[in-house]
Structure 1
Amino acid sequence: MSSTTARVAIVTGGSGGIGRAVAERLAADGMAVVVSYAGNPERADAAVEAITTAGGTATAVQADVADERQVSALFDRAEELYGGIDVVVNTAGIMLLAPLVDLDLDDFDRMHRANVRGTFVVSQQAARRVRSGGAIINFSTSVTKLAFPGYTAYAATKGAVDAMTLVLARELRGRDITVNAVAPGPTATPLFLDGKAQADIDRLAAAAPLERLGMPADIAESVAFLAGPARWVNGQVLYTNGGVI
């Protein structure tokens, strides 16, 4: 099966949490979506089934985002299936929290590999292959500005993502490809909620003027904007956090 008319999106980390919400939203907007996942085929298949049941088009493809050979094969597969690539969304990442003085350096290296190297490797393929009129959308975090204690290493990896995003937008001059990052604030995902006391969750929910946590669909809405109509938004970090900062 191939198509040269429908827009095609690759969503890394697309099998759960914010990534799945993004994949479902882009599919609902009419894109064929490649749901890239690291190691849980059952969750990826469930995401694809949800999309196809709703009338969309999707395929699950496994890839380690930090492995350049696997990422190249991921892009090859997208092109084989759908004829090209228009949108790449880097939601894949991990978050391991501890104060700087206590963080295990193996955890730091794991986050750097997934969040920094992974974003770089996927962006490298995207820069080579995304068609004119396309969009590359990375994932940052509002914690780079909120500066919550315990988030030092995670925020550092996302600061690197911000830098890559701004520079790549300028390196793609003349290609008609936008490069932006979405920086969620506190969002009700299993990754965010895991291990937090209810009092802490309530405090974070009250911090936004809208007095709630973000939902994955809220973040997906910003991605859909950057992936579709937002052709004059380029080289930006879009803080999608309900006004926390």
Structure 2
Amino acid sequence: MPSTTAGPVALVVGASRGIGRQIAIDLAKNGYAVVVAAKSTTPQAELDKLSPFPPDPNSSQSTITTVTREITLAGGEATAIPVDTTNYESIQRLIAKTIETYARLDVLVYNAGAIYWAPVARTPMKRFQLMQRVNVEGLYGAVQEALSHLKKREGKKEGGRIIVVSPPIYSRFFRGKTAYAIGKVGMSVLVKGLGMDFEREGLVADGMAVSAVWPAVAIESAATEQFTRKDPSYASDLRKPSILSDAVLAMLRAPPSVVNGQLELDEDFLRKHAGVTDFSKYSVVPGASPRRIMPAELPDLTVKEQDDEGMMADSSKL
């Protein structure tokens, strides 16, 4: 039987550790029932033996099972549902199980990601394929399956939100990691294009919006841990994942027209739309001033002929 939760429901894909874990925990603290989704789980027998608990949030011991227990021990509502984002049928089962459990879906956060930074000549085809399947194809599948449940319908005051962890589009991002950039920028293209679909279909007026968020400063995570192991001083250039989580919450509170189709940076969005001026609490090393890794100004992707649609065609109707 579906849960009787009266609050909104959020699905966080890629929530086993790091940024995704923090987003799931903070959504639960703010009244959301959270579906914690990723590939890794912990058997009950092992879960009961984990010490300390919770485990290191950037380690392999942190799974959707441990994150769900963290949330429920703190008084929140959460359900762990495993998913393989390279498998569309697994994504379909995830969405179906979410609806079976809570009978609704209000927020989809897609944080799943595969990473391999190297020049094209040193990026094997298997690595390239994995990144595209996890990053852009996984996102596309999750959106396809979730859309009908996110739309406004009887019993829902407004439409749902989609937030994607993907970057603004600018040329420097491609350098030295082209294969990775193809997938991540592809995710951002989906945000821009789907946002235009929402506008065209009048869904923004119903409360729907799709947005992307990306860190302005490197975040403490499993990905950055490799650098701090080599050089512990690198930690002074890191921020806690709570800054990106706070940005997600701020985006959910913002009017749909403000965030729809936007590719935002966590720090810049919090400064402009949440009134945050002091970011020191997010520094991993107290008193440090982490180096910003994203440009201060980003290119405008629109053109003067933006409103000229030419001979628009809809293949689904042909």
- Superposed pair shares fold, TM > 0.5: yes
Question: What letter corresponds to residue 39 of structure 1 in structure 2?
Answer: S
CA contact (8 A) 1:4 1:83 kept: no
Q: Which one of 232, 239, 242 corresponds to residue 265 of structure 2?
A: 239
Question: What letter corresponds to residue 174 of structure 1 in structure 2?
Answer: G
Rg (Cα) greater in structure: 2
Q: Which one of 235, 241, 244 corresponds to residue 216 of structure 1?
A: 241
- 1:154 Cα deviation after fit: 1.2
Q: What residue number does 2:99 align with?
A: 79
Aligned residues: 237
| Aligned counterparts of 1:26 and 1:215: Cα–Cα separation in 2 | 16
Q: What residue number does 1:58 align with?
A: 78
| Aligned counterparts of 1:221 and 1:90: Cα–Cα separation in 2 | 16
Does 2:247 match 1:226?
A: no
TM-score (norm 2): 0.68
1:44-193 matches, within 5 Å, as: 44-132=64-152, 133-141=159-167, 146-147=172-173, 149-172=175-198, 173-175=201-203, 176=206, 177-185=208-216, 186-193=218-225
CA contact (8 A) 1:37 1:61 kept: yes
- 1:2 Cα deviation after fit: 2.1
- 1:224 Cα deviation after fit: 1.3
Question: SS of the residue aligned with 2:122?
Answer: coil
Output one character per residue of 1:37-94: Cα deviation in whole Å (capped at 9) or x when no partner.
1133461111001111111100000111232221121111111111200000000111
Output one character per residue of 1:102-148: Cα deviation in whole Å (capped at 9) or x when no partner.
11121111101100101110111122221433100111136855537
| Aligned counterparts of 1:60 and 1:193: Cα–Cα separation in 2 | 25
| Aligned counterparts of 2:68 and 2:18: Cα–Cα separation in 1 | 14
Question: What letter corresponds to residue 183 of structure 1 in structure 2?
Answer: W
Structure 1's unaligned 5+ residue stretches are: 206-211
| Aligned counterparts of 1:40 and 1:50: Cα–Cα separation in 2 | 14
| Aligned counterparts of 2:142 and 2:247: Cα–Cα separation in 1 | 20
| Aligned counterparts of 1:226 and 1:41: Cα–Cα separation in 2 | 32
| Aligned counterparts of 1:13 and 1:102: Cα–Cα separation in 2 | 27
- 1:193 Cα deviation after fit: 2.7
Of 142-151 and 228-237, more deviation after overlay is shown by 142-151
Alpha-carbon RMSD = 2.3
Q: What residue number does 2:286 align with?
A: none
| Aligned counterparts of 1:50 and 1:104: Cα–Cα separation in 2 | 38
| Aligned counterparts of 1:150 and 1:200: Cα–Cα separation in 2 | 24
- 1:174 Cα deviation after fit: 2.2
> Structure 1 residues 105, 144: closer, same or farther in 2, change over 3 A?
farther
Question: What letter corresponds to residue 223 of structure 2 in structure 1?
Answer: L
Structure 2's unaligned 5+ residue stretches are: 44-62, 153-158, 269-291, 296-318
Does 2:29 match 1:6?
A: no
Question: SS of the residue aligned with 1:60?
Answer: strand
Of 97-106 and 12-21, more deviation after overlay is shown by 97-106
CA contact (8 A) 1:35 1:48 kept: yes
> Structure 1 residues 199, 151: closer, same or farther in 2, change over 3 A?
farther
> Structure 1 residues 234, 193: closer, same or farther in 2, change over 3 A?
same
CA contact (8 A) 2:10 2:105 kept: yes
Higher relative contact order (CA 8 A, sep 6+): 1
Output one character per residue of 1:176-235: Cα deviation in whole Å (capped at 9) or x when no partner.
310001122411101233256428936xx5xxxxxx422211111111122334433211
| Aligned counterparts of 1:125 and 1:4: Cα–Cα separation in 2 | 22
| Aligned counterparts of 1:92 and 1:180: Cα–Cα separation in 2 | 15
Answer 1 or 2: which has greater strand percent. 1
| Aligned counterparts of 2:108 and 2:72: Cα–Cα separation in 1 | 20
Question: What letter corresponds to residue 60 of structure 1 in structure 2?
Answer: A
